[in-house]
Chain A
Amino acid sequence: MLFSGSDILVKTLIEQGCETVFGYPGGQILNVYDSLYKYQNEINHVLTAHEQGAAHAADGYARTTGKVGVVISTSGPGATNLVTGIATAYLDSIPMVAICGNVPTTQIGTDSFQEIDITGVTLPITKHNYFVGSVEDLADTIREAFKLAKSGRPGPVLIDVPKDVQIAKCEYEPQPPVERDEPFAAKDVRIEEAAEIINAAKQPFIYFGGGVIISNAQEEVLALAEKIDAPIGCSLMGLSAIPTVHPRFLGMQGMHGHYASSMAMHNSDVIISLGVRFNDRVTGNRSKFAKGARIVHIDVDGSELNKTVNSVCGLRGDVKLTLQKLLPLLTESKKEEWTAKVDTFRAEEKTCLDNREGLTPRRAILTLNRHLGENTAVCTDVGQHQMWSAQNLNFRTARRFASSGGLGTMGYGFGAAIGAAYGTGERSVLVTGDGSFGMNLNELATAVRYNVPVVVIIMNNGVLGMVRQWQTLFYDRHYSSSVLERKTDFAAFAKSFGADGEAVTTPEELDAALSRAFAYSGPYIIDCKIDRDEFVLPMLPPGGSMDDIITKLEVEL
């Protein structure tokens, strides 16, 4: 049967299992929106306030479900507004398909109204992108895009569909959803090499990242830790894979990582890295990074091996499948001395904990923990609040934390929290700062319009806290353009958008406000007043090593 390109586009999305898509209509994508109208009983479209919000929502949906997130926009400014969202997904390996309209093929290259070369623009921030020149290619291109987005190391794929291709007609036959490429384990000879190195280790450390969540390898990671008696740490992207309370879990690595976790990695003799890259925020000064350690690195993306730090053994393969083959080759052992040493790091960490009274950032997150259900997704924006969340949230379930790790996108959180609520089918939480929240607070309109229950906690300190922290430490306290001095009343703002909210100044007030927020049907904003000179600690100064770690604030404020 003959269908128009726009019908084929929507039918192919449905065929691929899309239930909810996010987007914003416009001139060159109107036909697709007409088809979305036609098939509205089979596919749900969420209209955001801005295309960037839609891209982040698709990302939040993908992170919480593991499915491909889909975002749709028009040409020109609609397409360029997706760029930050696509780049965020690219840096964090999130499966996403972005579909843009474009001017008819006859007008391409003539600088028509709202024409932009979006495949050119997104070349370095997509796994691949497509310009669909004829309607006959459309369905298969979308299928290929879904396959690419979720295969190997996932990532965003963009499809540019000119208007005449949306209008043209051709045959369409539904097909079953595409499967991701069959995952594979690393080569046996490499696995044997790795086993030899790990068996000889006296102070092994397991360092994992988002790859463990993607390949669903939590069980294998824990089995590895048990067998070789090793502590576990992770990157920001790995958070939520292993429950915070797990006795072997030391927490996050890096510039603001947990002290014990960073110390254990620094003092280890073998680092077993699983689905994780050695970002500069993790290693600090690379030449001083974990000098005594030999690195065994398992990653599905071969280009990550030896990219920034040299591993003695690089294994290209799926983390789960590779660990399953590796585990039987390992000898079980107890490492009392190493465990004792790690325990001293834990003890030291305890002495550095911030136990001050009042509404401190840590106390705010600990208060939030009491209200979180097992399935509640917590999203963050970027800055101090993000690190406080990463350090103090009680993670219980994988895929229930969404934060822009690689790109560090301020303004990511609200869109992501909306996407996460759709993904989990439950109330989601956004922890943000007054700076980040200011970037995409327009999405409150979306949450109100669709009655999406998002609890927003704004760590409101009136400044760009992370910038201020750096300016305090490294720029002679020149607070250049980091003092916001806005007069925003966030509770009133919430009410004016049709939501509800309140301001709190003590942990008790926050606790009561959270109770109201978690019972409220719809978005609820809590303006959480904190001090402007709160610091994120510990901190590894940029380019520093563990010898330079700052655990206590010694600057006179």
Chain B
Amino acid sequence: MNRYTLAVLVRNQFGVLNRLTSMFRRRQFNISSITASESESGAYSRITFSFDGEENGKVQLINQLYKLPDVCSIKELTPINSLSCELMLIKLKNEPSSRDEIHAAAEAFKAETIDYTRESIVLRIIGNSTKMDDFIALMRDYTILEICRTGTASIEKGSATLRQNLNL
């Protein structure tokens, strides 16, 4: 199993996300994260998928996605050719026994405290997925109340863009 990231530029129409995720479902790929938003042009949306799978299946999936009329461009993003980051909000129980350790870890990870009450602390942390995973692992020693992650946002290094790839 490998982790893959695909950036897909699609026509900005209702139901388009459904068409794409339906293709993942049909080929039995489990999407580990997904981000979707309008792109630099209102006519297109940009969707970034992260998923685990095998090379063969990934190629199949890309081929199948290209057959959807709404799909305009697909690029596989790797740690070498791209920059990725994710945002996470994590809510922890505020207890005197753990408060200092949480703050020390937060400082080391450059996490920001954005909410603080007698019962809870909410931290905001930005970085790649591994950093998030590491931070969560650390926080498991304390009481995690809630986690919300945005999924990976990825962009290619240099001046290349998805739109240059428009092939349909």
Q: Contact residues of A with B, CB < 8 Å? A: 119-120, 123-124, 127-128, 131, 148, 301-303, 305-307
Contact = CB atoms under 8 A, between A and B. Distances in A.
A301 B26 CA distance: 18
B67 A303 contact: yes
B15 interface: yes
B28 interface: no
A129 to B, nearest CB: 9
A124 B26 contact: yes
Contacts of B60: 303, 307
B145 interface: no
A119 B69 contact: no
Given A119-B15, A307-B60, A124 B22 contact: yes
Contact of A123 (B18, B56, B63, B69): B18
Give 7 closest A-B pairs by Cβ, nearest first.
Answer: A303-B63, A128-B69, A303-B64, A123-B22, A302-B63, A124-B26, A303-B67
Nearest to B168: A181
26 contacts: A119-B15, A120-B18, A123-B18, A123-B19, A123-B22, A124-B22, A124-B26, A127-B67, A127-B69, A128-B68, A128-B69, A128-B70, A131-B15, A148-B69, A301-B67, A302-B63, A303-B60, A303-B63, A303-B64, A303-B66, A303-B67, A305-B63, A306-B56, A306-B59, A307-B60, A307-B63
Contacts of B68: 128
Range, interface on chain B: 10 to 19
B39 to A, nearest CB: 21
B58 to A, nearest CB: 12
A239 B165 CA distance: 39
Contacts of A302: 63, 66
A463 to B, nearest CB: 35
Contacts of A131: 15
Contacts of A123: 18-19, 22
A162 to B, nearest CB: 14
Interface in B68-82: 68-70
Contacts of B15: 119, 131
A119 B13 CA distance: 14
Contacts of B70: 128
Contacts of B26: 124
**Most interface-central of B19, B59, B60, B67 (chain A CB within 10 A):** B67
Contacts of B64: 303
A306 B19 CA distance: 24
A120 B56 CA distance: 28
A124 B26 CA distance: 8
Interface in B20-60: 22, 26, 56, 59-60
Interface of B: 15, 18-19, 22, 26, 56, 59-60, 63-64, 66-70
Nearest to A147: B69
Contacts of A124: 22, 26
**Most interface-central of B19, B22, B60, B69 (chain A CB within 10 A):** B69
Contacts of A306: 56, 59
B26 to A, nearest CB: 6
B41 to A, nearest CB: 20
**Most interface-central of B15, B22, B70 (chain A CB within 10 A):** B15
B138 to A, nearest CB: 42
A124 B64 CA distance: 12
A134 to B, nearest CB: 13
Given A124-B22, A307-B63, 9 more contacts: A123-B18, A123-B19, A124-B26, A127-B67, A302-B63, A303-B64, A303-B66, A305-B63, A307-B60
A178 to B, nearest CB: 14
A305 B59 CA distance: 10
Contacts of A305: 63
A128 to B, nearest CB: 5
Contacts of B67: 127, 301, 303
A127 B69 CA distance: 8
Nearest to A153: B67
A118 B97 CA distance: 57
Contacts of A301: 67
A255 to B, nearest CB: 24
Contacts of A307: 60, 63
A306 B70 CA distance: 24
A149 to B, nearest CB: 11
Nearest to A302: B63
A301 B63 CA distance: 9
A275 B128 CA distance: 44
Nearest to A128: B69
A120 B64 CA distance: 18
A128 B69 CA distance: 7
A119 B14 CA distance: 12
A325 B1 CA distance: 40
Nearest to A303: B63
Contacts of A127: 67, 69
Contacts of B59: 306
Contacts of A119: 15
B11 to A, nearest CB: 11
A119 B15 CA distance: 10
Contacts of B56: 306
A473 B15 CA distance: 47
Contacts of B66: 302-303
Contacts of A303: 60, 63-64, 66-67
A254 B24 CA distance: 30
**Most interface-central of A127, A148, A303 (chain B CB within 10 A):** A303
A311 to B, nearest CB: 13
Nearest to A308: B60
Contacts of B18: 120, 123
Nearest to B61: A303
Contacts of B19: 123
Contacts of A128: 68-70
A407 B29 CA distance: 23
A307 B60 CA distance: 7
A131 B60 CA distance: 28
A11 to B, nearest CB: 24
